[in-house]
Structure 1
């Protein structure tokens, strides 16, 4: 009898073990989990640096220019000592105005070298204490008199964002985006067919129509787009 009871107990233990094993499945990661892991891994791989040296100002300024043109771009702007200087010499068609380290956020502007007289005039007027409305009016009058000139079609692109750290390996300022400008002095909605307000994000429109500073504006898509 004891042998029979022992057999039944042993059999019960085996059944219990088998049943328990069937309920245990290998842990599987969902696509969402995999995506989160990859994202975390990518974030950890970023080598973010502060924009706190002249070298960093030059490196991030060049990110505003097309990649194939960066090595030969001229870079100007305020250095870390607060002096407006040529940070890097260049000999191609682009001039880049580096981020101003005394101002919040990040902003670098890359424009065609033929726009430099117009840009330099604006900097000089601001240095005299003129506000933006006065700068606009003075340059408008000087354009009408032929003292300043903007060739239609000259471009400017602004690389900007709220953060002041960058990934040197990826050549990106964290969270920064590009906004594009194409100058068309005196152009209007009627002369171009473009609206005076954007119809949607990333759509071209004409800003300052009918003035010396009329230009086609193309702003970036929102960062949080799907």
Structure 2
């Protein structure tokens, strides 16, 4: 009789163990399916309307400030026009739909003379080095207003021109931040002149009108 009871007890334990394992396996499988669904459920669409262009370009601005940002961008004729009026300290330069990928910028309005001068010179056909030299001379002479020291530029960029209409996030886009400190140097800031690693600040163009603290995005971690 004791032998029979022992066998029954062992059988019950095995059945309970098998049931527990199956439940655990089913739960893990369900979780895996949910994770898979979450990662593939976003339906990215092409940025093909002015409304979508404005919404995605505003992603370059701090979230709390997006509603009050002025947005400027290029029309089909290549003219810079106001796409959205604003009432705060930021100006957003929308992505140029004629160029591949996505690139929108948000900058403090005190930087507008500097930014506008660059666009003007570029429209005249000046090269990058030529624009740098012209603005350098004009900034040193006081002719060019470089804005408030510490004014920021936020860049939202990526290789794709599709976005999630629910969140307005652009597929694969990342952030880069710039803090302008005209004529600053490594000595005056204590920052290195070369990046130590992703997401670490460093000073670019030190000693010039275009000196700025650069903070580049973290690299993708695929491990």
Give yes or no for TM over 0.5: yes
Equivalent position to 1:131, from 124, 127, 130: 127
1:211 aligns with 2:208: yes
Is the contact between residue 57 and residue 79 of structure 1 (CA under 8 Å) also seen in structure 2?
no
Q: CA deviation at 1:135?
A: 0.4
Distance 2:35 2:167 in 1: 15
1:196 aligns with 2:205: no
Equivalent position to 1:59, from 55, 58, 65: 55
1:160 aligns with 2:157: yes
Cα distance 1:189–1:86, how it changes in 2: closer, same or farther (>3 A)?
A: same
Is the contact between residue 79 and residue 87 of structure 1 (CA under 8 Å) also seen in structure 2?
no
Structure 2 residue aligned with 1:4: none
Structure 2 residue aligned with 1:140: 136
Q: CA deviation at 1:80?
A: 5.0
SS in 1 for 2:22: coil
Equivalent position to 2:177, from 176, 180, 183: 180
Equivalent position to 2:96, from 97, 100, 107: 100
Distance 2:63 2:135 in 1: 32
Distance 2:31 2:194 in 1: 38
Structure 1 residue aligned with 2:105: 109
Deviations 1:171-195 (A, max 9, x none): 3111111100000000111111100
For residues 33-52 of structure 1, the aligned pairs below 5 Å read: 36-52=32-48
Q: CA deviation at 1:40?
A: 2.8
Distance 2:190 2:74 in 1: 39
SS in 2 for 1:200: coil
Structure 1 stretches lacking a partner, 5+ long: 1-17
Deviations 1:112-142 (A, max 9, x none): 0010111000000000000000000000000
Q: CA deviation at 1:91?
A: 1.1
Structure 1 residue aligned with 2:114: 118
For residues 64-83 of structure 1, the aligned pairs below 5 Å read: 64-80=60-76, 82-83=78-79
Structure 2 residue aligned with 1:8: none
Distance 1:35 1:156 in 2: 41
Tell me which structure has the larger Cα radius of gyration: 1
**TM-score, normalised with respect to structure 2:** 0.85
Distance 1:51 1:147 in 2: 39
Q: Which moved more, 1:180-189 or 1:163-172?
A: 163-172
SS in 1 for 2:100: coil
**TM-score, normalised with respect to structure 1:** 0.84
